[in-house]
């Protein structure tokens, strides 16, 4: 699909992030894929603090991934159970080691490293990485070479963190001590706004949401062309096929576009 390049604030005033925080800890029930009954219940997991994909609003878990997965599962023979929430790095262990969840819906990039551990649905979103800085601040980079002597943040385990490691730390532009990782991008952007770090590297649509609601702005975008997919355990082809079929159905009947319009605005 065509990635949205702007944020319609007037349509989404509920995306105000003041007071937002990462929701950590299991809130749902244990994964129950394979239990009997008329319909198999699957427990979804996510990592709040990544607006507009997943976040807490007035104590309620909301976001694009929440709405999309629920719509997709509604088109299958499965039923969706209560959502469980973790920090982002805890999602794959919760899926594969503890089997507390059956599917990850957390704007997770499909890559070969993760494919060694989990499987994915077909892609449902494309994204690049954006560099957030303080609006009106002295640091307004146009490329990675401008980062010497700065402090940079990203959420642990994300593509943004990998971009910092690859383009800045490994290249010797900044030291590892100048790179801060966070359990949530909400916390990273708070540190940026408060002057504790100079930049945050985050997925572009998330950066646009922060820029619309905080005193931060996008300095430049690194084109990574990554794709998001729903994560599942390997060798669960039946669930994978069901999710792919459900995703295609919501694309075909207009539900996908309605959900996208709700969270990202119309072009």
Residue 102 Cα distances to 29, 42, 49, 161, 251, angstroms: 11, 6, 21, 26, 23
According to the model, what pLDDT value does residue 37 have? 53
**Could you give phi then psi for residue 186, rounded to 5 degrees?**
-60, -45
Q: How far apart are CA 43 and CA 91, in angstroms?
A: 12
- pLDDT single digits (tens) 208-219: 999 999 999 999
Positions of the chain with pLDDT under 50: 1-30, 35-36, 267
For residues 103 and 231, the answer to whether their CB atoms sit within 8 Å is yes
* R_g (Cα) of the chain, nearest Å: 18
Q: What is the pLDDT at residue 27? A: 35
The pLDDT of residue 8 is 33
What pLDDT does 187 receive?
95
pLDDT of res. 265: 80
Q: Same fold for the domain at 9-124+229-264 and the one at 127-225?
A: yes
pLDDT at 6: 30
How would CATH label the architecture of 127-225?
3-Layer(aba) Sandwich (3.40)
Q: Identify the pLDDT of residue 29.
A: 40
pLDDT of residue 207: 95
pTM for the structure as a whole: 0.80
CATH fold of 9-124+229-264 reads D-Maltodextrin-Binding Protein; domain 2 (3.40.190)
In the chain, where the domains are located: 9-124+229-264, 127-225
């Amino acid at each position: 699909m065509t990635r949205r390049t702007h944020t319609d604030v007037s349509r989404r005033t509920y995306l105000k992030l003041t007071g937002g925080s990462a929701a950590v800890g299991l809130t749902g029930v244990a994964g129950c894929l394979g239990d009997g009954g008329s319909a198999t219940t699957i427990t979804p997991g996510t990592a709040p603090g990544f607006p507009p994909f997943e976040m807490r609003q007035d104590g309620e878990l909301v976001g694009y991934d929440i709405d999309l997965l629920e719509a997709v599962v509604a088109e299958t023979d499965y039923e969706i159970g209560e959502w469980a929430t973790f920090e982002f790095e805890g999602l794959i262990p919760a899926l594969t080691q503890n089997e507390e969840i059956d599917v990850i819906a957390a704007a997770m990039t499909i890559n070969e490293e993760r494919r060694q551990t989990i499987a994915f649905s077909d892609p449902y979103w494309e994204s690049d990485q954006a560099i957030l800085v303080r609006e009106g601040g002295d640091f307004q980079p146009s490329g990675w070479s401008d980062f010497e002597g700065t402090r940079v943040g990203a959420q642990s385990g994300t593509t943004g963190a990998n971009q910092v490691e690859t383009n800045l730390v490994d290249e010797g532009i900044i030291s590892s001590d100048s790179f801060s990782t966070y359990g949530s991008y909400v916390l990273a952007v708070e540190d940026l706004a408060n002057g504790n770090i100079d930049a945050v590297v985050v997925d572009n649509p998330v950066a646009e949401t922060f820029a619309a609601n905080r005193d931060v702005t996008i300095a430049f975008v690194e084109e990574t062309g990554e794709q998001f997919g729903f994560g599942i355990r390997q060798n669960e082809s039946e669930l994978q096929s069901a999710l792919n079929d459900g995703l295609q159905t919501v694309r075909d009947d207009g539900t996908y576009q309605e959900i996208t319009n709700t969270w990202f605005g119309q072009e």
